[in-house]
Structure 1
Amino acid sequence: MSIRIPPASWAFRGFVLCFVFLSSFPGTILTQEVTLDSIRIFTTHDWFSIKPTVYFQCKGENKTVFPDVKNTNVSYSFKGEESWQPLTKLEGTKCKRCGIYEQDPLTHDTFDEWELCPSDFTAEGTYTHGREKEFNATFLCHGCSQVGPGSNKESGTEKEEERRGMRPAIVVLIVVLVLGVAAAGLVVGYKYWRKKKRQQEQARFLKLFEDGDEMEDELELQNTL
């Protein structure tokens, strides 16, 4: 006796296949949020007595303005629940080019730019970065330490090569999933067609059998007369 596999199980199998495939590539599933714990600025770069706008930004992402950070030599602490948090998100072991900047109506200056990596964070999820006579900041990222402290920072070229290597794999995955869904659809359609054809043949056979009975009844009636 053959066991029929419900069509829904094919979709579940495709989901499991996709999850396992993506899990085999580090950095494609695990995403960690980075928040600002505290910051102190030691100087400002404005020429006039205008309080600048201090903000954080990673390359290619939107600015995150620190609305409370206005005065020098003042330690500002945050809970990570502010409306402007998180600052950014780190995926797997990938680093990002980020920085803390200052902007006023006339100038745009840089406190510092650096590579922000998951491996920078301690087991407690903290990372302190600063620049002499400029600023000192502590960031939080719970889960970043799981990457491991021995991870090397990737250069822009290495990241680009990794992204290029991922593209064919993603294309192959999509093709495999499409072919799998198409094959499952063909199998289900073929089984449905065979079932309908069998039902039609049975109905035709029964109809022929009933017509044969009616003809026999008519012949018997004629012989009786």
Structure 2
Amino acid sequence: MSIRIPSASRDFRGFVLCFIFLRSFPGTIRAQEVTLDTIQIFTTHEWFSTTPIVYFQCKRENKTVLPDVKITNVSYSFKGQESWQPLTGLNGTKCKRCGIYEDDTFKYDTFDEWELCPSDFTAEGRYTHVKDKEFNATFLCHGCSQLGSGLKEGDGSDKEEGRRGMHPAIIVLIVLLVLGVVTVGLVVGYKYWRKKKRQQEQARFLKLFEDGDEIEDELGLENTL
């Protein structure tokens, strides 16, 4: 006697498998939030005002004004819970082009612009970026160190190569897809071969039947009652 699995159990099992699969991709479910811990600016670029407007911004994202940063050579510390925090979010091992700028009267000036990567953060989730004669800032990102710990070993070229490497889960998925395609191809090919073989057997049987009729006609055999 076969045992039927309730549909609710199948749905729950499918949800668990889907959750495990998504968890194998870092950054798929939740982005790693980057917050500003400390910053100190050494200069300003505004000519017509003594109070600079300093802000952080990543490419194609909204800018985040740092309202407390007003005076040079003063170290500002933050709790990460300010209304303008977090600064941005990182997904997986992907980097972002970010920078710290100053909003001047007629244009904006750049303190510095760089690639912000999860692999830049230490095991404690801390990353310090220094631009000579411009600023010194420390950022926090909880969870980034788990993604970038293997990429920080070696020089910059190793880090770039690691970012370009494929995640093992993606490789497993590709292998499963290839095996699935090959299996479907073998099944379709086998069914086609069985169909052709059946057609050949039917054609051979009809040919034998027609040959039998021709032999009877040649011998003059007729059906008698």
TM-score (norm 2): 0.64
The amino acid of 2:25's aligned partner reads F
Shift of 1:119: 1.2
Shift of 1:60: 1.6
Partner of 1:22: 22
Unpaired segments ≥5 residues, structure 2: 152-157, 178-225
Equivalent position SS for 1:89: strand
Partner of 2:121: 121
Equivalent position SS for 2:21: helix
Partner of 1:205: none
Shift of 1:61: 1.4
The amino acid of 2:113's aligned partner reads E
The amino acid of 2:110's aligned partner reads T
Equivalent position SS for 1:56: strand
Partner of 2:81: 81
CA contact (8 A) 1:93 1:147 kept: yes
Partner of 2:11: 11
Mapped pair 1:31 → 2:31: yes
Shift of 1:14: 2.6
| CA 1:149–1:21: 2 relative to 1, 3 Å | closer
Deviations 1:168-215, CA, capped at 9 Å, x for gaps: 98xx9xxxxxxxxxxxxxxxxxxxxxxxxxxxxxxxxxxxxxxxxxxx
Equivalent position SS for 1:10: helix
Deviations 1:33-55, CA, capped at 9 Å, x for gaps: 11101100111111223422111
| CA 1:113–1:153: 2 relative to 1, 3 Å | farther
Shift of 1:158: 5.2
Partner of 1:99: 99
Q: In 2, distance between residues paired with 1:98 and 1:146?
A: 21
Partner of 1:133: 133
Shift of 1:16: 2.3
The amino acid of 1:19's aligned partner reads F
Unpaired segments ≥5 residues, structure 1: 173-225
The amino acid of 2:78's aligned partner reads F
Partner of 1:66: 66
Shift of 1:145: 1.3
Q: In 2, distance between residues paired with 1:23 and 1:147?
A: 13
Q: In 1, distance between residues paired with 2:143 and 2:150?
A: 15
Deviations 1:5-57, CA, capped at 9 Å, x for gaps: 22222322332232233234344235321110110011111122342211111
Kindly report structure 1 stretches of 4+ aligned residues shifted beyond 4 Å. Answer: 152-155
CA contact (8 A) 2:95 2:116 kept: yes
TM-score (norm 1): 0.64
Identity between Structure 1 and Structure 2 (%): 74
Q: In 2, distance between residues paired with 1:137 and 1:93?
A: 21
